[in-house]
């Protein structure tokens, strides 16, 4: 599937969890994604086992703790934590996962990607929801072009 189609499907979900949201946000990638989704009208849930609140909102220790569950998950943690999150998504029947990646390593884990796809998940392994409409901005759109050329944003999923 082309990444654009996968992104449209992912962003059509309304209840989205973002893992790795930090208590000290500044320019932390997961916090940027969290704020952007929230500002664009998504029902978004912060996940960090070490925080009760982030960005002025309740924060949950894991996906299971989110009341009513979610439809999709943005993984914004270090890649070594992605596999655990994908396993939790499998247990909760969440089939939309996006592993955040801008410049640098990001959150992408080959093992987590493979496991998710083996269980029928749509896994976007790179890029950022802020790079695509309806959550994009000009800077992120330019970044998407550059990072697609370097391979950090996949062309297919």
In a domain, 155, yes or no: no
- Taking only the tens place, the pLDDT of each residue in 38-88 is 999 999 999 999 999 998 999 999 999 999 999 999 999 999 999 999 999
**pLDDT at residue 29, rounded to an integer:** 85
48 CB neighbour count, 10 Å cutoff: 21
Residue 157 covered by a domain? no
In which domain, by residue range, is 60 found?
Answer: 3-150
Let me know if residue 156 belongs to a domain: no
pLDDT at 38: 97
Residue 11's pLDDT is: 98
Kindly tell me if the per-residue pLDDT of 30 is higher than 90: yes
Q: What is the CATH number of the domain that holds 26?
A: 3.40.50.720
The encoded tokens of residue 30 equal 């997961």
pTM of structure: 0.95
Range 125-142 average pLDDT: 95
In total, how many domains does the chain have? 1
Q: Which long-range contacts (CB under 8 A, 24 or more apart) does 60-67 make?
A: 60/17, 62/88, 63/17, 63/19, 63/88, 63/89, 63/92, 63/94, 64/88, 64/91, 64/92, 66/17
- pLDDT at 102 exceeding the cut of 90: no
Q: Is residue 34 part of a domain?
A: yes
Does a structural domain hold residue 85? yes
Statement: residue 23 has pLDDT above 90: no
Residue 17 in any domain: the answer is yes
In this prediction, residue 105 carries a pLDDT of 81
Is the residue at 146 inside a domain? yes
């Amino acid at each position: 599937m082309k990444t654009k189609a996968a992104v449209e499907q992912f962003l059509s979900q309304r209840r989205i969890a973002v893992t790795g949201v930090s208590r000290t946000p500044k320019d932390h990638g997961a916090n940027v994604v969290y704020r952007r989704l929230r500002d664009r009208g998504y029902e978004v849930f912060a996940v960090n086992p070490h925080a009760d609140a982030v960005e002025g909102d309740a924060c949950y220790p894991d996906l299971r703790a989110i009341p009513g569950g979610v439809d999709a998950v943005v993984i914004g943690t270090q890649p070594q934590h992605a596999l655990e999150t994908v396993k939790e998504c499998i247990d909760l029947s969440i089939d939309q996962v996006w592993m955040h990646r801008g410049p640098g390593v990001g959150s992408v884990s080959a093992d987590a990607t493979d496991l998710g796809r083996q269980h029928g998940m749509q896994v976007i392994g790179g890029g950022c929801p802020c790079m695509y409409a309806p959550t994009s901005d000009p800077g992120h759109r330019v970044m998407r072009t550059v990072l697609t050329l370097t391979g950090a944003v996949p062309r297919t999923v």
